[in-house]
Structure 1
């Protein structure tokens, strides 16, 4: 029952943080949205920062699961990478608390945000790296430094986040541009 209560708090807090932002959200707002007393929140979390960290971790877990479901099917590595990029970038356009944690400069002043950013970056590099390794093993890709290429691809995606977040109606165009960058990584720009 307690895990269910904690899950309810995290789900409700996610909605509240998304609506009001981290700065304006209070523990009272979260308690009200969860239908709990404030003491219930403090049973699970020390403060608003811990609640936000749990919300972001929850969203990251869902995103990773969604990506894994897409890339763990039998298809060429290039298509797995495209699936990864498309799911990730579309999720960032939808904004959410994970995107906020990774992109909001105000939040960068909190030490827990740096931890979230580093953890999620490591997860992404590992996921991209595994796709590249699989492509090398299946002779779809030339042998390359998988970690370097994974970091380069992630850097490209991060570079597109701000335009995507500010021009959410241009989602398909931005994803197409990212796919063009993927093509350049795999096929080069030479004819």
Structure 2
């Protein structure tokens, strides 16, 4: 495929995803159609089918882009920190801030759904959360492995590292839900979680 053609197709795909993301946020997932997306980018519906078979594929691509955007933001922030402790804290704080910014979008997706539609959508949401958690775990593994190579923290066997990451990530999600619900500051709680984690892994 010629470079110019590939570039043009990448641009069109980005236009489709941006338009779909905006429509999903405005109207909810259920009410948006392929015709709506095509109209938003000024093309016929048949043009969309060249890239995506149906709305589900468009939605999956939008969600993949959202996950990539979230993880890119977290990774950029983490790479600016120097120690494992700072990186874990940055991971927690940045994830919380980005999640707060994205909250309106994810909540808007359920607009206009009845009970049956929400039930079907819940399965999609679980798949999205699974992908997100896998990406987060990969970054946390990298933080711990690099810290061990530098001699900053002890070397953990794979099972121990998996468990530590599960506990840290799950605790962070729990803190985020509870503290945002009660409108409390989350930073001190994240600091405490990080200090507890460091007590487990420091040399």
Fold match by TM threshold 0.5: yes
Once the two structures are superposed, what CA deviation does each residue of 1:31-90 show, in whole Å capped at 9, x if it has no partner? 233333222222211111111110111111122222222222461111111122222111
Structure 1: 5+ residue runs without aligned partners? Answer: none
Greater relative CO (CA pairs within 8 A, separation 6+): 2
Q: CA RMSD in A?
A: 2.9
Structure 2 residue runs of 5 or longer lacking an equivalent are 1-7, 111-117
Q: In 1, distance between residues paired with 2:187 and 2:40?
A: 34
1:75 matched residue in structure 2: 82
C-alpha contact (below 8 Å) 1:59/1:98 kept by paired residues: no
Q: Is contact 2:83-2:147 (8 Å) kept?
A: yes
Structure 1 residue 8 corresponds to structure 2 residue 15: yes
2:123 matches 1:109: yes
Counterparts of 2:17 and 2:179, CA distance in 1: 26
The equivalent position to 1:158 in structure 2, one of 173, 180, 203, is 173
User: Is the counterpart of residue 121 in structure 1 residue 133 in structure 2?
Assistant: yes
How many pairs does the alignment contain? 181
Higher gyration radius (CA): 2
CA change 1:87–1:74 in 2 (3 A) is: closer
Alignment of 1:53-68 (within 5 A): 53-68=60-75
Deviation track 1:126-161 (CA, whole Å, cap 9, x = no partner) reads 111211222233333334422111111111122234
Cα distance, 1:160–1:50 mapped onto 2, change above 3 Å:
farther
